[in-house]
């Protein structure tokens, strides 16, 4: 009996061993302790569990009922209208600094303005369609416009058609809702290359982890409803998203994107670029802005990494036409106090192969399309921004402050190199 028990025990101990080793133990030639057993396999359940990044939620706030009033109606069981909500964004920006130009007078860029004043509404209807209308009331007369009037319909599971007046998706900053931008102003190259909001359509599919879209847009632009002009723009987007678990157990989400715009109308396009500063006088010089030609091909590729406290956006952009411009934006951010204080950095680089090929503004007037703020020309641009955003209420009420150092070189031109230390302050309220 005891022998049987011993043999059975030996059997189970020696089971993972090779047959020869097992025989050696049974014949007494080796001891059990001398055999190296293979490692246990990893828990198959643990291996199969796919990590999922869940964005941290917001803690309850006494301001929740106030912001909840933006949703005027919500009933998911209603067959016609499931939701009706108003949307708005008010942004005030101020900048203080001096652009110092070699061999030319300095330019004061102390200014404050209502940078964005948007009001609109969105509806979810028929169980598969979202309609959005937004008007922009800030800026010069040409900037005030119907920003968006579009519908998006789910035609098949994960298949969508978007139609109406909206901006083609291009780049991380250019595609982001202005309410969610981490810096007071978008970067130099983003302002320069951003296409206009115009009529068109996009067909897209979200087939995790990939999503893609392709569409056509008119090359016309208008404050209200553009017409069909020229052959138009072709827009294509591709993105890949994955969640992975780090050693510490936290999960990060990584999203890579590739955006492409092709203008079939070249110089006659009014949507790409949005504005033409031909003949205007730049503030660094003074010097006339070179004849501004259009771009035909535009590429943007980059990656977004998002963790619980740390986030990073990296974008590389190239525009090709009668001349070339290219650049990159690197933007890390970190929640020093999760939900309340976010430290934001940004390095932006822009370059061109044409004299005076870079045209843009500095400070609160960074977007020359916005109003008649001073514009600067050059052929190489660097900008370093470091700031902090104080979140009074979620992502919807934010105070932004930061310091920027910009360098605009004009080596290929008359060497009116410019650099500026600029303090930015801003406040953003959205619903």
Partner 1 sequence: MKIILSLLALVTISTEAANLNVPGLGRDLNGWNGGVASYSKSGAVFSVAKPTQNYDENNNLIITTDVRELKKSSTVFKGLLRVLVSPDGTIRSISMTGEVDGHKFETGEVARQESIAADADASGEIEVAALTPADPQASPSQIMKDDFEARLASAVDRAKESGKTVKKDLSSWLFTSSASIGEVIADGTRITVNALFNNTSR
Fill in the DSSP letter of residue 34: G
Helix-helix angle 2-14:19-26, to 10 degrees: 150
Site string for partner 1, 316-355 (x = CB under 8 A): -------------------x-xxxx---------------
Structure-token pair, residue 191: 């302002």
Site string for partner 1, 285-314 (x = CB under 8 A): -----------------------xx-----
Strand partners, 132: 122, 150
Closest CA to 171 of 317, 334, 376: 317
54 binds partner 1 (CB under 8 A): yes
Closest CA to 197 of 229, 173, 219, 230: 219
Q: How far apart are CA 81 and CA 70, in angstroms?
A: 16
Give min distance, CB of 53 to partner 1, in A: 11
Q: How far apart are CA 321 and CA 323, in angstroms?
A: 5
60 binds partner 1 (CB under 8 A): yes
Give min distance, CB of 251 to partner 1, in A: 9
Fill in the DSSP letter of residue 395: T
Q: Which is nearer to partner 1, 154 or 309 (CB)?
A: 309
64 binds partner 1 (CB under 8 A): yes
Q: Write phi, then psi, for 304 (nearest 5 degrees).
A: -120, 130
* Residues that contact partner 1, how many (by CB under 8 A): 25
Contact 291, 302 (CB under 8 A): no
Which residues from 372-431 bind partner 1, rule CB under 8 A?
Answer: 390-394
Q: Which is nearer to partner 1, 44 or 249 (CB)?
A: 249
58 binds partner 1 (CB under 8 A): yes
72 binds partner 1 (CB under 8 A): no
Q: Pick the stretch among 63-71, 181-189, 207-215, 348-356 that binds partner 1 (CB under 8 A).
A: 63-71
What 3-state class would DSSP assign to 16? Answer: coil
Q: How far apart are CA 119 and CA 147, in angstroms?
A: 10
268 binds partner 1 (CB under 8 A): no
56 binds partner 1 (CB under 8 A): yes
Pick one of 44, 62, 79, 157: the residue that binds partner 1 (CB under 8 A). Answer: 62
Name the residues that contact partner 1, by CB under 8 A.
Answer: 54, 56-64, 68, 249-250, 308-309, 335, 337-340, 390-394
């Amino acid at each position: 009996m005891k022998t049987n028990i011993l043999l059975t025990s030996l059997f189970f101990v020696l089971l993972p061993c090779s047959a020869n080793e097992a025989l050696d133990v049974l014949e007494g030639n080796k001891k059990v302790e001398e055999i190296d057993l293979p490692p246990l396999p990893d828990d198959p359940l643990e291996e199969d569990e796919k990590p999922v990044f869940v964005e941290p939620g917001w803690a309850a706030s006494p301001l929740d009922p106030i912001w909840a009033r933006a949703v005027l109606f919500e009933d998911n069981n209603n067959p016609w209208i499931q939701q009706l909500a108003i949307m708005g964004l008010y942004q005030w920006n101020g900048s203080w600094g001096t652009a110092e130009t070699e061999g030319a007078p300095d330019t004061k860029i102390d200014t404050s303005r209502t940078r964005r004043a948007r009001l609109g509404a969105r509806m979810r209807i028929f169980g598969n369609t979202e309609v959005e209308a937004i008007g922009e009331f800030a800026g010069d007369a040409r900037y005030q416009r119907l920003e968006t009037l579009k519908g998006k319909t789910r035609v098949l599971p994960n298949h969508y058609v978007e139609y109406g007046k909206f901006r083609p998706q291009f780049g991380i900053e250019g595609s982001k809702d202005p309410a969610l931008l981490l810096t007071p102003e978008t970067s130099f190259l983003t302002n320069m290359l951003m296409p206009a909001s115009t009529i068109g359509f996009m067909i897209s599919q979200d087939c995790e982890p990939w999503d893609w879209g392709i569409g056509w847009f008119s090359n016309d632009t208008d404050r209200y409803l553009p017409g069909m002009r020229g052959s138009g723009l072709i827009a294509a987007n591709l993105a890949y998203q994955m969640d992975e678990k780090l050693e510490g157990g936290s999960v990060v989400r990584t999203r890579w994107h590739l955006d492409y715009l092709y203008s079939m109308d070249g110089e006659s396009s009014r949507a790409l670029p949005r504005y033409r500063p031909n003949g205007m006088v730049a503030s660094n010089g003074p010097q006339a802005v070179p004849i501004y030609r259009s771009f035909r091909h535009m590429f943007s590729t980059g990656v977004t990494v998002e963790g619980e406290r740390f986030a990073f956006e990296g974008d590389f952009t190239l525009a090709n036409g009668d001349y070339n411009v290219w650049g990159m934006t690197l933007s890390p951010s970190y929640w020093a106090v999760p939900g309340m204080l976010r430290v934001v950095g940004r390095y932006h680089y822009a370059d061109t192969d044409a004299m005076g090929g870079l045209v843009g503004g500095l400070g609160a007037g960074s977007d020359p399309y916005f109003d008649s703020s001073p514009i600067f020309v050059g052929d190489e641009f660097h900008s370093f921004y470091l700031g902090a955003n104080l979140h009074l209420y979620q992502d919807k009420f934010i105070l932004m402050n930061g310091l920027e150092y910009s360098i605009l070189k004009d080596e290929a031109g008359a060497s009116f190199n410019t650099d500026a230390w600029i303090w930015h302050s801003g406040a953003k309220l959205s619903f």
